Homo-oligomer: A and B are copies of this chain.
Amino acid sequence: MTRQVVFSPSGRRGAFPEGTTVLDAARALGVDLDSVCGGRGICGRCQVVMGSRPGVEARPDRLSEPGPTETDYQGRRPLGAGHRLGCAARIVEDVVIDVPADSQVHRQVVRKRAGVAALPVDPVVRLHYVEVPEPDLASPTGDLERLLAALEQEWGLSRLVVDPPVLTDLQTTLRSGNWAVTVAVRHARDLIGIWPGFRDVALGVAFDVGSTTIAGHLCDLLTGSVLATSGVMNPQIGFGEDLMSRVSYVMMNDDGATRLTDVVRGALDDLLGELITEAGVDRGDVLELSVVGNPIMHHLLLGLDPRELGTAPFALVTTSALDTPAIDLGLQVHRGARVYSLPCIAGHVGADAAGVVLSEGPHRGERLQLLVDVGTNAELVLGNQDRLLAASSPTGPAFEGAQISSGQRAAPGAIERVRVDRATLEPRFSVIGQELWSDEPGFDFGAVTGVCGSGIIEAIAELHLAGVIDTDGVIRQPANPSSRVVASDRTFSYVLCAEPLVEVTQNDVRAVQLAKAALHAGARLLMDHYGVDQVDEIRLAGAFGSHIDPKYAMVLGMIPDCDLDRVSAAGNAAGVGAMMALLSGVARSEIEEVTNQIEKVETAVEPRFQEHFVAALAIPHKTNPYPLLSKVVDMPPRPEPGERRRRHPR
């Protein structure tokens, strides 16, 4: 007697003999229903719910009554109310079976984080429980051959390539598991781990290796949940604050690349230790890792000499995504674990930019997005589902606080927020590490150490809005002279903080102008290539993107004019991209394909870049060319022609 079964949400249907298990029916129809234990009622991953459709209402007796497998079920994943184990429940009548998202192999996990879409979870490493026939004098096959035959028969896994350590452990594991083992298989191809008995623990770590900080996220590969997140300083800072000084270190020291590689690997392993401790899990359960980073960080981590990235034509060793044994990177995790590094896009547009693209997904929609990731170089991506373009722009390290008279990295003591009173020109500011603003009682001026990138940007933008800095970037003594504006050589400076002295000098303004003009020109160049004058949305990625106020970025003209409410921080988009790649094989294929198709625009060989650069040196003003910004910010007027000549103090 056959019964009709319909699965939802897939809609797949078929007729099966009465008594067929739901899991067997699902497998026969190719329905995406998870299982680690292979239908032995151990793992609880094949939970289903009875559904209904016209004529086939949800009636308990459409499935067999729960037997001991279900009533005594004690697995790690609790059996939900109204849930049945697909491997135990048998079809008795025509029935509709709902497969909840949690029971699908390829599923979506929704993060409770603004702006991050549902993450697909379909890790490249999967666990499979299998029972292996014992060896027999009469048919002398190897233990491995019997294991592989069982994996092929039960899981359809064929032609597996076996990691050597699995071979080493094979015999003792089979025997200590009494001929039942769980194996980890990567990409349905590589047998990377084996454990006695049933096991359903598989962890992964996603790393975002920045030149200043390294962030790590420890995830459960089975559920997609984040178990711990942490960060450490990149110890390469000891060899050079910014990227180019690290490349110089490599060029000037024979063992430079090796030392930079060693310290960053050590930092990753330390960070891994923190994550493991925080989550209370074992290093040996980490079976897969992923990593993003700019090209230089990417190369140094993988042990590739970054020297070529220091000079034109900035040739990467490879742009491809790589799988590297974790042990080769000095990471103490499961010895079969691999580290997936996302592809690089071009010489200055790295795996971090690929991570941002994967996370933000401009290629998944119609809106024309501009993604901006600011560092020593700004990495820029523009496009939508039709086309993607990428470029890097040589902003220099001014946005990181370098080349600024009182500049410093974004660290405790750095001025990061600035407001200037439009009438009195008195400043107030806040520093990293203190809750109070400088005009509030109890503010500790002794803790002020300098000004970081976001601080100098706000200061210059506020001074522009207050009329102290004109559209050409000249610091001028206002009509009503202020003691804050002081002459210095043939220029003026603005005293942001008197004790300790933190000034905004004319050179500081020039440095920021050069940096922001480069950023702006890069974006304009991409817009030219795309053939547009305006973008629908701007997303500012990375730590810098999170720190700066989009309004001030636009007041300065760092980025093209845009509706201010369509300009936002993307947070740690590169890190989210690394996490997506960690959790999903589909995401990896997606970013590899997208990266291949991105059109690379090299600013250095584009004459228009220079034109845009020169045009972008000025600070935008009320009448031209930032009409969208001018609607919401009271931009100072264009100076009168006569005024423009009084550049220097008399």
Contacts and interface: CB of A to CB of B under 8 A. Distances in A.
Interface of A: 135-145, 162, 164, 167-168, 170-172, 302-305, 307-308, 312-320, 322, 324-325, 328, 344, 346-347, 600, 602, 604-605
Contact of A137 (B136, B312, B318, B324): B312
Contacts of A320: 142, 144-145
A318 B140 contact: no
Contacts of A304: 167-168, 171
A143 B143 CA distance: 43
B172 A138 contact: no
A137 B167 contact: no
A302 B167 contact: yes
A317 B167 contact: yes
A171 B317 contact: yes
A136 B167 CA distance: 46
Contacts of A140: 313-316, 346-347, 600, 602
A644 B328 CA distance: 73
Given A164-B328, A302-B167, A304-B167, A138 B602 contact: yes
Contacts of A143: 308, 315-318
Contacts of A308: 143, 171
A141 to B, nearest CB: 6
A601 to B, nearest CB: 9
A168 B303 CA distance: 7
A140 to B, nearest CB: 4
A214 B344 CA distance: 48
Nearest to A602: B137
26 contacts: A137-B604, A137-B605, A138-B605, A139-B600, A140-B314, A140-B600, A140-B602, A142-B316, A142-B318, A143-B308, A143-B317, A143-B318, A144-B317, A145-B320, A164-B302, A164-B325, A167-B302, A167-B318, A168-B303, A168-B304, A170-B317, A170-B318, A171-B304, A171-B305, A171-B308, A171-B317
A623 to B, nearest CB: 37
A171 B311 CA distance: 13
Given A142-B320, A167-B304, 4 more contacts: A138-B605, A140-B346, A142-B317, A171-B305
A510 to B, nearest CB: 27
A145 B312 contact: no
A562 to B, nearest CB: 28
A172 B312 CA distance: 15
Given A142-B317, A142-B318, A142-B344, A164 B324 contact: yes
Of all A-B residue pairs in the complex, the 7 with the closest CB atoms, nearest first, are A144-B318, A135-B315, A140-B346, A142-B319, A142-B318, A142-B316, A137-B313
A604 B136 CA distance: 11
A85 to B, nearest CB: 34
Contacts of A312: 137
Contacts of A136: 313
A325 B167 CA distance: 14
A536 to B, nearest CB: 27
Contacts of A324: 164
A171 B315 contact: yes
A400 to B, nearest CB: 24
Which of A139, A140, A320: most chain B CB closer than 10 A?
A: A140
A140 B305 CA distance: 17
Contact of A141 (B135, B138, B319): B319
Contacts of A172: 305
A624 B556 CA distance: 110
Which of A142, A313, A602, A604: most chain B CB closer than 10 A?
A: A142
A168 B142 CA distance: 37
Nearest to A348: B140
